[in-house]
Structure 1
Amino acid sequence: MATYRLEIQEIIPRTHNVRTYRFEKPAGFQFVPGQAADVSLLKEGWEKEVRPFTFTCLPSAGYLEFTIKSYTDHNGVTNELFHAQTGDHLEISDAWGAIEYKGEGTFIAGGAGVTPFIAIFRYLKETSQLGNNKLLFSNKTSKDIILKEEFEEMLGDNFVNIITNETVSSPLITGRINKEYLTQHIKDFSQHFYVCGPDAFTESILQALKELGANAEALVFEK
């Protein structure tokens, strides 16, 4: 698999611990919305620490970007990235990944698991295919919601926020996305479901969907 050395050209704050990093796009580089790349920070001691991150720009953009949540409570790759500056360099691989738009349905994201869906929704908007796609987005607190205003503008009432660790008022929902929630809020389990989040979140949602009659072939997630 080819690798590319990229210089950080712009850093855009999104939340208290999420930033978008933009780079010049290598000639001929291609990806499908929802795909990721293996990324390492070209900084002494970190070159071999490779992590997967999802492209969040449109494939037609003249740049590449990742939108990354940093875990600043321990000394890991995302913490180092949080302190990166324009002019620093990353190395990335070619694009890979199994999360790809298959048709209209419900997207279910937990925290930073929303990142594969960002480029997908931006692409659907660009190509006038947003239709009745819905995003259920679970976060610990309201300040953790990534790209809240953009999703509201794109999806309107089809953007639903569920907050787990905070008492909030409408239109945010307090609770968890689980089998009970899905039973109450999903009427058609024959549609496509796109699921991404922490491993335990993804596994529990996929299990609940299967128990509720979702077609295994219509479940899209990173295997």
Structure 2
Amino acid sequence: MCDKINLNAMGGHIVKILEARFITHDVKRFKVEKPEGYDFIPGQATVISLNLPDWKDEIRPFSFTNLREAKYLEFMIKIYDDHNGVTKMLGKANADDELIIHDVFGAIHYDKPGVFIAAGSGITPLISIFRDLYNQNKLRGNRLIYVNKTMDDVIMGEELFKMLKKDFVNVLTRQNVIGYREKRIDRNYLIEHIIDFSQYFYVCGPDDFVKEITTILLDLGAKPKSLIFEI
């Protein structure tokens, strides 16, 4: 996604980190200052870099997870500690350190009730959407199928269950735990668990996952205009 972004055409804002802490073994939540007049639509993202001499131009895309009306911005970022990249540096960042955020972008947005299918950190753009709908008492009629390798990888599981209740389906691919389904999200799974393929679908996750799931959904009768995703 980063190679499609023209950094020179985007306005940059230096913001201070207000709070930084790990919420899973490899996902860190950041609350940062919100520039005056800065706004986004739930589901959108921005590109971020660290305000350090060697890292200012190393931008990466991250989705907003806070409510739009909040006085701060929030990001939940998966930290890859096995190579010397941006997220490894973010893993070391703490309150009072500075980031550079740019303009908003993103194709993920809420249109009508439907089925949300997310994998791993692909849940992050959906968190802002769910929080916004829940805050407006408009979440009913939506369903989330969320796939992770193990229970330890689930991001914001308790809050998602609180908001969606029985419409929150957890799927684990490498662990069998009571209350979680150990399966792979494939054609057979979708046929077994989805009755109406004419409804809206929102798909988020790694590129290969999104391509595979959207291809299957279209083959099963989903309408292109009712399929919302971003590669």
TM-score by length of 2: 0.94
Q: What do the CA deviations read for 1:103-140 (whole angstroms, capped 9, x no partner)? A: 10000001000000000000000111001211110101
Correspondence 1:1-223 to 2 at 5 A:
1-169=10-178, 171-223=179-231
CA distance in 2: counterparts of 1:94 and 1:47, whole angstroms: 15
* Pairwise CA distance, 1:11: 1.2
Q: Deviations over 1:129-171 (max 9, x none)?
A: 00121111010110000001000100001111111112223x2
Deviant stretches of 4+, over 4 Å: none
Tell me the alpha carbon deviations over residues 181-213 of structure 1, each in whole angstroms, 9 at most, x when there is no partner.
000000010111000100110000000100100
Give the letter aligned to residue 195 of structure 1: V
Which amino acid is 1:205 matched to?
I
> How big is the alpha-carbon RMSD for the aligned residues of Structure 1 and Structure 2?
0.9
SS of alignment partner, residue 12 of structure 1: strand
1:47 Cα shift? 1.4
In structure 1, runs of 5+ residues without a counterpart are none
Amino-acid identity (%): 47
Amino acid across the alignment from 1:207: T
- 1:32 & 1:56 partners in 2: Cα distance? 11
Aligned-residue offset at 1:222: 1.2
More off after superposition, 7-16 vs 138-147? 7-16
Shift of residue 75, structure 1, vs aligned partner? 1.5
CA distance in 1, matches of 2:194, 2:176: 24
Measure the CA separation in 2 of the matches of 1:148 and 1:8: 24
Comparing 100-109 with 8-17, greater Cα deviation is found at 8-17
**How many residues in Structure 1 have an aligned counterpart in Structure 2?**
222
SS in 2 for 1:95: strand
Give unpaired runs (5+ residues) of structure 2: 1-9
